[in-house]
Amino acid sequence: MNRPRRRSTDRRGVALLLVLITMAAATTLVMGWLAVQDTSPLLGRNAVRAAQSRSIAQAGLELTVSILETDAPWRTHHDEGWVLRQHPIAGGVVDVRLWDATADPPSPPTAGTVQVRVEATATIDGMAQQASALATVHPFDGATLGDLGGLAIFAQDTMTISGHSRIRGWGNTAPRRMLGIGRDLPGSVVLDGAAARQGTAGADLVRPASASASLISGSGRGGLIRNRRQRPIPDELGMYGLTRSDLPAGAGEPGHDHVDLETPGEVHWDDIAGALIDGDLYVGEGVTLLLPAETTVHVAGDLTLDVGAAVRVHDTGRATLVVGGDLTVDHATLGTVTPARRRINRPRAASARSLRVIAVPHDEAIWTISDRSVIAAELDAPHADVFIDRCAVVGRISARALELSDTRLWYDGRLSNGSGLASIAASIDAMDLLDRRDGGLDDAAREAVLARLVSLTHADNTRVSRPTTPPNGDAWQLRPVLVQAQMDQFGGDTQAWEATAMANAQDAP
């Protein structure tokens, strides 16, 4: 008889427990609801201010990019990188600072800055948000299309790469390897053999937009023939890659003296000539000719380096050697370089920036470099036919017609100043001005940007330096400079603002 009473007592205990749980849950819900009622306006204001501050920061970026597009001297007229301080926008203020994106450690822009990091911090009612972007400012002008410093090799008419030729990067970094061809006819680029295909793997080809579908031929064409490896230049920009370096007036006339250096040892240029050898120059076996740094010297006739000869720059600095006739280098050394034991292998040390060799426009000029010669220089011969066989080259090469056979080239990316043909090709591809991809600029915007490029790179455009005062009264209105910008940070520390706002709300009566 006691069992039923115990079951009744158990039921009353369970009911009490359920009532207590229900009351606790209801209390929690009510307290949560009350808490939300207290903080929801605050959180709403927080969200609004955060959105306003982010918009102001983005507006600061857009305003700064507009400044970069003008001729305003922002590279030099700044305060430790600050170009805007407490600038009012839409009820808030924005601070904008510029950094040279290539400097290590980071530093404010200088006269040569091309890549810029833009950092904007906006504040409204105590809410701070940041936005940053990486911008590339291209100082294109009338010399841009003739600046080949960003290309490992360039050929105006034809390019042939064969045998065990290789094109690689020099130094600790891996610069983008870009090849260039100026002609648009079938077969202008010839890659022979599997070795040639591997030697150009990963390289990009700058070519005219009107180039034939059969521009590249040969059994090793597989790598460069892909569209993603080709960077066309719009036909509206016209011919590119042609440069001139003339001899002094009156040089190279018949009857002038030649110079033969045949006694082994070092010879200083200043001991044999001034700025000009008005005839041929022969550098014999065992002779090292030292060129003066920071000087341009001329050989009006042919330049010949015989077996074991060398031409390099004396001390530190850079020299330019202008050749009016043919160039012949046979098992010799040209430039400041320490060859490997096996001369065709990667040199132990080299400075491609110390020497530039230029060919004077000459319809019949021929440059022949052969038999394990080692070169560390910029070879600029867009008006000469260049043949290089079984050699090691650190630097870059440009020619009218170029043939590389069993030659290894290491391109030094430091030879590019960021404003030449390679840079403009990269910009055209990034902005898709030839409408090769979906989702790019609309037709009107594409035509407007292309028209700006045509204007900037016109032969009559001599804009080199930027004025220090606005050309239109008190405002920079015209924006001729091409700028690419990509945002990489957008936001801020909202939690810190929330914590401060909550503390202030709790202290309020």
Residue 25, pLDDT score: 84
Q: Report the alpha-carbon distance of residue 225 to residue 384 in Å, rounded.
A: 26
The residues with which 485 forms a beta bridge, in sequence order, are 135
Q: Report the alpha-carbon distance of residue 277 to residue 273 in Å, rounded.
A: 6
**Among residues 207, 210, 272, 206, which one has the least CA distance to residue 235?**
210
Query: pLDDT (tens digit, 0 to 9) for every residue of the chain, 509 residues total?
Result: 455 555 555 556 667 777 778 888 888 887 776 665 555 566 667 778 888 888 899 899 999 988 888 878 888 888 999 999 999 998 899 999 999 988 888 899 988 788 899 999 999 988 889 999 888 887 788 888 888 989 999 999 999 998 888 898 887 766 678 899 999 899 999 988 765 666 777 788 999 999 888 898 887 655 555 556 788 999 888 878 766 555 555 555 544 578 999 999 999 998 887 778 888 999 999 999 999 988 888 898 899 999 999 999 987 888 999 998 999 999 999 998 888 888 888 888 888 888 999 888 776 889 999 999 999 999 998 889 999 999 999 999 999 999 999 999 999 888 887 788 988 888 888 888 888 877 777 888 888 888 888 888 887 665 555 566 666 666 666 666 777 777 776 666 555 655 666 666 655 54
Sign of the torsion formed by the C-alpha atoms of 22, 26, 32 and 33: positive
Cβ pair 390, 372 in contact under 8 A: yes
Sign of the torsion formed by the C-alpha atoms of 203, 160, 405 and 415: negative
The one-character DSSP state at 65 is H
The SS3 assignment for 407 reads coil
Q: What is the dihedral of CA 75, 76, 77, 79, to 10 degrees?
A: 100
419: Cα within 13 Å, side-chain hemisphere = 17
Q: Report the alpha-carbon distance of residue 152 to residue 143 in Å, rounded.
A: 18
Burial code of 405-427, b = ≥16 C-beta within 10 A, e = fewer?
bbbbbbbbbebbebbbbbbbbbb
Q: Which two tokens stand for residue 328?
A: 């012949």
Residue 177, pLDDT score: 83
Q: Which two tokens stand for residue 17?
A: 């427990």
Residue with token string 């490997």: 340
Residue 302, pLDDT score: 92
Residue with token string 């927080």: 46
Alpha helical stretches, state H, 182-252: 193-199
Phi-psi region of 378 (alpha: psi -120 to 50; beta: other; left: phi over 0): beta
First to last CA, the chain: 64
Cβ pair 160, 402 in contact under 8 A: yes
pTM of the model: 0.74
429 contacts: CB under 8 Å, gap ≥ 6: 231
Cβ pair 370, 330 in contact under 8 A: yes
* Alpha-carbon distances of 427 from 33, 70, 98, 104, 415, rounded to whole Å: 56, 18, 21, 24, 19
